Amino acid sequence: MKWQDTETNCQFIRGLGINTIKTRGHQIQSMSNSKAKMLPKQSCWTCKRRKIGCDRATPSCYNCIRTQRKCLGYGLQLLWPDRHDGRRRKRDPAEHRPPTTLSKSVHYGKYFLNISLSDVDIAVSKSDGHILVDLFQQRPQCSLTLHGPFLDHEGMLLGYYENVISSMISTTQVQNGFCSTLLPMALSSQDTSALALLNAMMAVAMIHYSNSISDAISFKLKAIQNLSQSLRTGRRSICTSTSQVQLAAVMMLCVYDVFDRKEHNWHIHLNGAKEIIRRQRFTDTPGSSSDFLLTWWLYHDVLAAFNHPSCRLNESPGSVSTSALYAFSGDKSFVSAPILTSSLLTLAQIVGSLGCSVEVLEIIDKINMMRLHSAHDCLSTSTLRRCDLAIKLYNIRQLLAPIESSDGLRAHRILAIAELYRLATLLYLQRVHPIAEDDFTRPVYVQQALGVLKSLDVATSPWPVFVIACEVDEQDRVSILHTLDRMDNVRSIGNIKVLRYVIESIWKQQDFRSIGKAGQRVDWLQFVECDVPVPWFV
């Protein structure tokens, strides 16, 4: 069929479908307008890089589809103009310099410093010492089991003490008084003082072996009962050897309090040991046993004054602590009979129960006294005293006993721990009495100390680790946390967990209080003082 009249056909079509045609045209026009509105305003990133026009089709432009290229889309992108295209001035390429840190990259992201509401409260109130006060809460008394599972295994516990505990709490092994001096004392007789020492040793071995306070508390209570009976009988007629065993038993109870982080009687036992020394120091005869016991007690006493310097306020110049330290240095004016003999022990020799020489311990004690009297001494006097102690620390030489030098690896470890004490003492001195030059020397000492920590498989001494941790920069905190992890995993002593909590709390307060104070460091000493001495740095 053919249409002869074109005009007639057009009229016929217009007459039939005019509304439809108009409607379709409106739909097509509306679709074109909406499509134009949906088009991106700029070219895709691929066409921009090719410097050609783009049809701006979505989700991929037809130019990229036709040329089989990946369309990079139309969204925002971060660009670094590292390639010169001739349109802009050429710039030097950007160089990425990651922060230097001593910690291995494998430890990055393993540790977090979590902030709690109590940390914010302490920072806002700017209170001092609350970090330790909150920790020092009397725990509920442990309930005793009716049938202790290890009460018939004294031999096993003594073997564990000899092979594990004694080597753990002494840096030297050949001249290890925790084994060579204390075991004969505990096993040589059946009197109450020896039984007290024996049960205290087994209590320490039990809490470390089983990690159970209920198992260890039975031995501890026996030790306290035996010691109480020994102290009640014949105080004035007591012989020298008995007083030494009593002192050893009290000090072993102090060691138990170090292992049990929830025990808060350390300062009571330490004061008891001081009273025994004060009562018997004029009648004791010098010897290796007296040397070991006195250095053992001095270590605890000096570190007790570290977090509680005011405990020395009521001490006279001839007090027990002062007399003992002067006896070490050869000045016998404070004691009628020497407690220690220079032939048995010299100032420079490294002592296993200390981890350092007696001379370094004496300097730590003098710095404690500087803190105590800093508010009353004139500035020139304090500065002269600080310079004198600093010169001693610069020139000090800590010597290894010849008998300990046979094992090269062990000798290196003993010397490294002693050097750690020296560096920590220097940092402690700078914190107690700062001067302008400390800003240049402190980072050097910190990096040297971190290098020593890295050379040690496991750090054995909490006090130097604590001082170094309080002085490190933020990028070195991971290294300290890794050191604390190794200490906790290998040694598993209760005060290490508390030490970590204190260090992290001090870091958080340093971060809070340094906001808006660029270049200023918060004095961490304000956070370590407590109402009573605590064993968390021993």
Could you report the per-residue pLDDT of 390-405, keeping only the tens digit for each?
A: 999 999 999 888 888 7
For residues 220 and 250, what is the distance between their CA atoms, to the nearest angstrom? 11
CB atoms within 10 A of CB 136: 12
Torsion sign, CA atoms 171, 426, 347, 274: negative
For residues 200 and 194, what is the distance between their CA atoms, to the nearest angstrom? 10
- DSSP bridge pairs for 350: 357
CB atoms within 10 A of CB 490: 14
Name the residue among 371, 367, 375, 328 with its Cα closest to residue 347: 328
- pLDDT, residue 135, reads 55
- DSSP bridge pairs for 349: 399
CB atoms within 10 A of CB 445: 19
For residues 538 and 531, what is the distance between their CA atoms, to the nearest angstrom? 17
Name the residue among 296, 443, 441, 435 with its Cα closest to residue 355: 296
For residues 157 and 204, what is the distance between their CA atoms, to the nearest angstrom? 9
Alpha helices in 317-437 (DSSP H): 320-329, 358-373, 379-395, 408-432
Residue type, 419: E
CB 220 within 8 A of CB 254: no
Torsion sign, CA atoms 92, 94, 95, 101: positive
Print pLDDT tens along the chain (538 aa): 444 444 444 444 444 444 443 444 444 444 445 555 578 888 898 998 888 989 888 888 999 999 989 898 888 877 655 555 555 555 554 444 444 444 444 555 667 777 777 777 777 776 655 555 555 554 444 444 433 444 457 888 899 999 999 999 988 888 888 998 999 999 888 889 999 999 999 999 999 998 878 888 889 999 999 999 998 885 555 666 888 999 999 999 999 999 988 888 898 999 999 888 888 763 455 567 788 898 999 999 999 999 888 777 666 555 566 555 555 544 333 332 333 444 345 788 899 889 999 999 999 999 998 888 776 667 777 888 999 999 999 999 998 888 887 778 888 999 999 999 999 999 999 999 988 888 899 999 999 999 999 999 888 889 999 999 999 998 899 999 999 999 988 888 888 988 998 999 889 888 888 776 666 677 888 888 877 788 888 8
- DSSP-derived secondary structure for 175-216: T-HHHHTHHHHHHS--SHHHHHHHHHHHHHHHHHHH--HHHH
Q: Which 3 state secondary structure label does DSSP give 405?
A: coil
In this structure, what DSSP letter does residue 265 have?
Answer: -
Tally: H helices and E strands in the chain: 22, 0
In the chain, domain spans:
6-66
The secondary structure element, H or E, covering residue 141 is none
CB 292 within 8 A of CB 348: no
- pLDDT, residue 324, reads 57
- pLDDT, residue 95, reads 43
- pLDDT, residue 300, reads 93
Residue 503 tokens, joined: 């260090």
Could you report the per-residue pLDDT of 209-248, keeping only the tens digit for each?
A: 988 788 888 899 999 999 999 988 855 556 668 889 999 9
For residues 221 and 320, what is the distance between their CA atoms, to the nearest angstrom? 28
For residues 180 and 174, what is the distance between their CA atoms, to the nearest angstrom? 9
Nearest-5° angle of CA 102, CA 104, CA 109? 110
Name the residue among 172, 188, 197, 177 with its Cα closest to residue 256: 197
What residues contact residue 48 under an 8 Å CB cut-off, 6+ apart? Answer: 42, 54
Residue 213 tokens, joined: 């306070």
- DSSP-derived secondary structure for 90-140: --PPP---PPP-SS-GGGTTS------HHHHHHHHHT-SSHHHHHH--PPP
Name the residue among 211, 295, 202 with its Cα closest to residue 249: 202
**First-to-final CA distance of the chain:** 114
- pLDDT, residue 174, reads 81
In this structure, what DSSP letter does residue 246 have?
Answer: H
CB 505 within 8 A of CB 113: no
How many CA atoms are closer than 13 Å to the CA of 192, on its beta-carbon side? 13
pTM comes to 0.73
